[in-house]
Amino acid sequence: MRTIRVGIDGRAFSSPAAGVRRYVSELVPALLSSGDALDLVALGGAAASIPSGVRHVSEPWHPPSNLGWAAVGLPRAARRAAVDLIHAPAYTAPLHSAVPTVVTIHDVSYERHPEWYPYRRDWLRRAFYRRSARAAAHILTDSEFSRGEIVAAYGIDRARITVAPLGVSGFDPASSPPAPLSPGVSSPFLLHVGDLHPRRNLPMAVKALLVARERLGSPLSLVLAGVDRGMGDQLLAMTATSGAGALVALGAVAEPALHALYQHAAALVYPSRYEGFGLPVLEAMASGTPVIASRAASIPEVVGDSGVLLDPDDSQGWADAIVQIVSDPAFAGRLRSEGLVRAASFTWARTARITLDAYRRTIEAGVR
């Protein structure tokens, strides 16, 4: 098997999007450990962010914008590195390139639900993403749900899209003792991980929390670990009369603090209406944390039968599930055990194998 040289967009390693950084920081070592005949080159990006074992090509001149990088700089860097294929790991890819491009599209929420993204220039982002998808030789995505959504959004043949489910590593509670909790957080608490965004449906979770607190007679709180995208004030106002500490908004948290939150939480609540995968659900299960999540979008593909799946608008059902997990140790213990087993089947090694196969098939198709 001949060695293939793949150029991966180096800007992804320092992306402002935490999910993109997680994706490339886990996928690349798994690719390098696969034993495949593979030469990986980071095209552009900050040299300090590039992982060991990956060669780096600095950015050539390009117009100073993300569009300028994708349209001009990335193809130039690929030519400089003499790669066989470009992997664009986060939505945007060269519209023209001398070699085939594989683009990873994690979800198309911005295209399917533009009402959630009321930014003045969002139409331009959507147009760029659409062109990137249609120009790519092949598309990787995280779930069967997202594959169907990409087909519906862009009219792309399903055969051009490969599903490579994400993996999880480093969250096993047996590998490290529980770390101290962040200041302001105390047990018992529920946890939500992810940006505070309209599609995450957090007002419903707060309603369920308030009902559960009253039924339990407990100072149960909801801890939010994620960047506020405009929902924070509304959520805090909902708990203003319910006593101090009902809602704790931490903002973005560092990795050690995130591990501690998963390990101490009574449950992860994940009421999102739309996810391309839902990595926090997998991280929670891998941490031995019970999961209550929406029966929506890709989430059932990840959770399977190892968590509580509910209609995202059934606040009473969510309150019932919260009460049962907090008050029934046997039920919570069963969810912990089943979640750990389920999470173990999601490995970055599998993601890498599927990704490598997509690389080779795309290169071979281009040769023909």
Query: Percent of the chain at pLDDT above 90?
Result: 84
Peptide bond into 94 cis (omega under 30): no
Comparing C-alpha atoms, which of 253, 252, 168, 185 is closest to residue 220? 185
Whole-angstrom Cα distance, residue 160 to residue 150?
Answer: 11
Q: What is the mean pLDDT of residues 33-51?
A: 95
Q: What is the pLDDT of residues 267-291, one digit of tens each?
A: 999 999 999 999 999 999 999 999 9
Same domain, 232 and 314: yes
**pTM of whole model > 0.75?**
yes
Most confident of 119-123, 173-177, 216-220: 216-220
> Whole-angstrom Cα distance, residue 242 to residue 91?
42
Residue 338: count other Cβ atoms within 10 Å of its Cβ. 18
Contact, 301 vs 145, CB < 8 A?
yes
353 shares a domain with 297: no
Strand-pair partners of 291: 268
User: For residue 155, what are the contacts with CB-CB under 8 A and spacing of at least 6?
Assistant: none
Q: What is the mean pLDDT of residues 96-104?
A: 94
Provide the greatest CA pair distance for the chain: 68
Residue predicted with more confidence, 19 or 29: 29
Ranking 235-244, 252-261, 322-331 by mean pLDDT, the lowest is 235-244
Residue 40 near residue 75 (C-beta atoms within 8 A): no
Nearest to 290 by CA among 189, 203, 201, 194: 189
Give me the number of domains the chain comprises. Answer: 2
pLDDT of residue 120: 67
- Specify whether 45 is located in the same domain as 180: no
106 in the same domain as 14 = yes
**Backbone phi and psi for residue 333, each to the nearest 5 degrees, phi listed first:** -65, -40
- Looking up residue 197, the CATH number of its domain turns out to be 3.40.50.2000
pLDDT at 368: 38
Domain extent at residue 297: 173-343
The tokens of 51 are what? 């992982």
Q: Are residues 188 and 132 in the same domain?
A: no
Residues 147 and 249 in one domain: no
pLDDT of residue 314: 97
Which residue intervals of the chain are DSSP H helices?
18-32, 66-68, 74-81, 109-112, 122-135, 144-154, 202-216, 232-238, 255-264, 279-286, 299-303, 315-327, 329-343, 348-367
Q: What would the pLDDT profile of 342-352 be if each residue is shown by its tens digit?
A: 999 999 999 99
How far is the first Cα of the chain from the last one, in angstroms, to the nearest whole number?
A: 17
Q: Give the pLDDT score at 367.
A: 54
